[in-house]
Amino acid sequence: MKGHFFLPRYQLLTSVLFLLLAVCFQTVSEESLLNPSSLPAEIRTSFETITSKKIALTFDDGPYPELSEKLLKILAEEKIKATFFIVGEMGSRSPHLLQLFNSQGHEVAGHTYTHPNLTKVSLTRIKEELEKTRVLIREFTGKDTYLFRPPGGNYNENLKNICSALGYQPIFWTIFPQDHLDISVEEIYQRVVKNVHPDGIVILHSGRENTLNALPKIIQALKKENYHFVTISELNTKGVNLARKNFSY
């Protein structure tokens, strides 16, 4: 008798559970998809991450003692992550900033040690520029990275071959406002937002005051367009071509 009684009760409980789940799902589907802000915070974050467009903010040069700290404050306030392509020689003078980049969840990658045009130096010098920067980053972040951005975007067959032999991955860009020139905050802002696209890589320069002043407005505009900010490695996991660029400078 007990066996005959247990089976129907089990089926009844299962049916009730499925019914409750169906009702909950319908409620979430009808209300939350129309208004994702009605979802609980953790679910909303996952929903927005899945449905949003990806964009990588990258910053070349530095680190700079004052400006890099200001930049970190902006990123923290906006709750986004970025990738810093640092010059090794400058990083060796401010190693605490490399540690800060890493501890705050940002990615640190190489931009050579002394910022030379790598197409105009020897293969030995290329290797030294790449390896010395990588070792420095590893020392102060605990992470070994083979991502790097060649200064000026200068790249040729010799550099391609040595990168392939040593395992380095060159990272270029798809959105470049030329903020290294003497242009206004508004020009920087307009050049980014007018050219932004999903899976894009924005190149900016961390040592420019106008760049930092334009940054909050840029971030807020992209957030309104449902962009989700990721690091280069996070973009890389999607199989995005990271060796794209619009032009050198």
List active site positions. Answer: 60, 205
**Angstrom distance (rounded) from CA 175 to CA 23:** 45
Residue 36, preceding peptide bond in cis (omega within 30° of 0): no
The answer to whether 88 touches 57, Cβ cutoff 8 Å, is no
Amino acid at position 179, single letter: D
SS3 55: strand
Opening angle at CA 133, ends 128 and 74, nearest 5: 155
Provide the sign of the torsion angle of the four alpha carbons 215, 220, 226, 231, taken in this order. Answer: positive
Helix, strand and coil in the chain, % to nearest 5: 55, 10, 30
Q: Which secondary-structure segment (H or E) carries 205?
A: strand 200-205
Q: Strand runs (DSSP E) across 46-164, as ranges?
A: 53-60, 83-86, 107-110, 147-148
Whether the CB-CB separation of 214 and 70 falls below 8 Å is answered with no
CA–CA distance, 235 with 232 (Å, rounded to integer): 5
CB count within 10 Å of CB 48 equals 15
